[in-house]
A = this chain, B = another copy of it.
Amino acid sequence: MYIALDAMGGDNAPACNVEGAVMFTREYNVGVYLVGDEKVLKKELEKYDTKGLPIEIVHAEEVIQMDEPPSVAVRRKRKSSMYIAGKLVREKKAQAFVSAGNTGAAMAISKFVVGAAEGIERPGIAVAFPTKAGKPTVLIDVGANVDCRPKHLVYFAVMGHTYVKEILKTADNPKVGILSIGEEEGKGNDLVKDTYPLLKMTRLNFVGNAEGRDIFTGDFDVIVCDGFVGNVVLKTSESLGTIILDMIKQEVKKSFITKIGALLMMPALKRFKKKADYTEYGGAPLLGTRGTCIITHGSADGKAIKNALKVAAHFEETHFNDRLKDNLENLLPTELREQ
């Protein structure tokens, strides 16, 4: 098995990407293609003892910048590390694609270069949110698709179910909800109202509407929504978490006593931060693509890259796409499976 790693993507690339690949291959017997500037990557690799490690450099002369629109990644910069990493999966030279680069571009590469799996119209990106209950809640889709149709949300539900059951292993028969603005059936916008009866037709453990507040309680294992709403929720939550901690810090600084207090509280705050960090789950997978696609945070360090590679390998070892195919067949009535 080989994983194609976009070695030039991310705020700390390529140093952390190379570090992560070395750490990963030392522990696991899975190969990594480091895709990027050959010269630069060779120099980075020289920092480590890589003898016998299944790491190969694949040259790519261009880099997708963090602020470039996805269309550039897919249509114009076809010599970028991200594009070539995606192409390696498309051509079956690698089984999985991992990038810490420009998220929008990585999603576009996953969708249009790696491509959707057979029978899947719209791959969806899943994020495992930390919850009060300890086990995560998976929100899908968080940005791969805007303006979804009801059928897409039903497919996201099966993808989320399979992710929770096979990869996260936090529930045997995952509780699935649909994100809405009230608990009762009949509440929500047209998309929710049209999707609800379809979800009821499936053999998923569908428990009804979930509200914004239910994302962090752990009462649901999977919550489906269209990618516009999901992306807004993801970005809102990420920034709110940071800003709450910042605002508390600002207040703490105002007196000596509260500063001492903060110092003593530090271990608790660190434990909290670790719990709340969704990179603990190795980044966000784009589910329903032809190979495994893992998109991780731009701020990923070596450990986070290693984690992402580990998760990618885990998806392949679990034969996630086969499980997903089985579940689509077993959980959906025929009329929902027809394209």
Contacts and interface: CB of A to CB of B under 8 A. Distances in A.
Interface string A256-291: 011011111111110110011000000000000000
Nearest to A243: B216
17 contacts: A132-B246, A146-B189, A179-B232, A189-B226, A212-B233, A214-B239, A215-B236, A232-B233, A240-B240, A241-B244, A247-B272, A248-B269, A251-B271, A258-B267, A258-B268, A261-B265, A264-B264
A147 B189 contact: yes
Interface stretch (A90-98, A151-159, A180-188): A180-188
Contacts of A179: 232
B212 A235 contact: yes
Contacts of A214: 239
Given A146-B188, A181-B143, A212-B231, A264 B258 contact: yes
A232 B247 contact: no
A237 B189 CA distance: 20
A69 interface: yes
Interface string A182-222: 10100011101000000000000000000111111100000
Given A104-B182, A240-B240, A262-B265, 12 more contacts: A131-B243, A132-B243, A143-B181, A146-B190, A189-B226, A212-B237, A213-B238, A244-B276, A247-B272, A251-B271, A252-B268, A258-B264
A236 B212 contact: yes
A268 B240 contact: no
Q: How many copies does the complex hold?
A: 2
A255 B233 CA distance: 33
Nearest to A234: B212
Contacts of A213: 235-236, 238-239
Interface of A: 69, 104, 131-132, 143, 146-147, 179, 181-182, 184, 188-190, 192, 211-217, 225-229, 231-241, 243-248, 251-252, 254-255, 257-258, 260-269, 271-272, 275-276
A190 B191 CA distance: 14
A265 B272 contact: no
A251 B239 contact: no
A262 B257 CA distance: 11
Contact of A232 (B147, B212, B262, B269): B212
Given A132-B243, A212-B236, A233-B236, A265 B258 contact: yes
B236 A255 contact: no
A214 B302 CA distance: 29
Nearest to A182: B104
A228 B132 contact: no
Contacts of A265: 252, 258, 261-262, 265
Nearest to A218: B243
Nearest to A213: B239
Given A234-B212, A263-B261, A269-B251, A181 B228 contact: yes
